Structure 1
């Protein structure tokens, strides 16, 4: 939990993917996030949070469905969406917080 807080407070925008291993759309979101990481490099963080392994974190951010994607800037949630998202949408949103 403290590692998560350190990452979202490090000054870079952070895209957190709250997912579950059993979730079909979550499995499809993974490769999209890998492509996004290649496009943006070190300008932002992209992290994956398994809601089954971190139920306290999922509860803190009121994750009701997976995948849920949240962009944090300086530790504060700035944008949130649930469901499978396309690369272009995520890239545009993430870059707007850089």
Structure 2
């Protein structure tokens, strides 16, 4: 969990994507997240977290639906949503916290 604290305690916004390889909606988010990362460059960070490999973290954050997306900035959760999102929506949300 200490590594998680380091991941989210950045001055730039961090978009977390909780996913699994077998979940269709999670897989569908792959190109969207690449577009978001490319559009924002070093102004934001996109991190994918495999729920099956990080079950304790997923449980601690009460991740139920997949994908679950969260935006953190300086250790504080700013936004959370389960389900697919489009790139423009995510870019707009992240830009609010840049």
- Residue 79 (structure 1) shift: 0.3
Aligned length: 98
Q: List runs of 5+ in structure 2 lacking aligned partners.
A: none
Structure 2 length normalisation: TM-score?
0.96
TM-score (norm: length of structure 1): 0.96
1:19 aligned residue? 19
Which string of whole-angstrom CA distances, capped at 9 and with x for unpartnered residues, describes residues 53-91 of structure 1? 101110111101110000001111110011010011100
3-state SS of 1:72 partner: strand
Q: CA deviation at 1:7?
A: 1.6
Q: Which runs of 5+ in 1 are unaligned?
A: none
- Say whether 1:62 aligns with 2:46: no
Query: Which aligned segments of 4 or more residues in structure 1 are displaced greater than 2 angstroms?
Result: 1-4
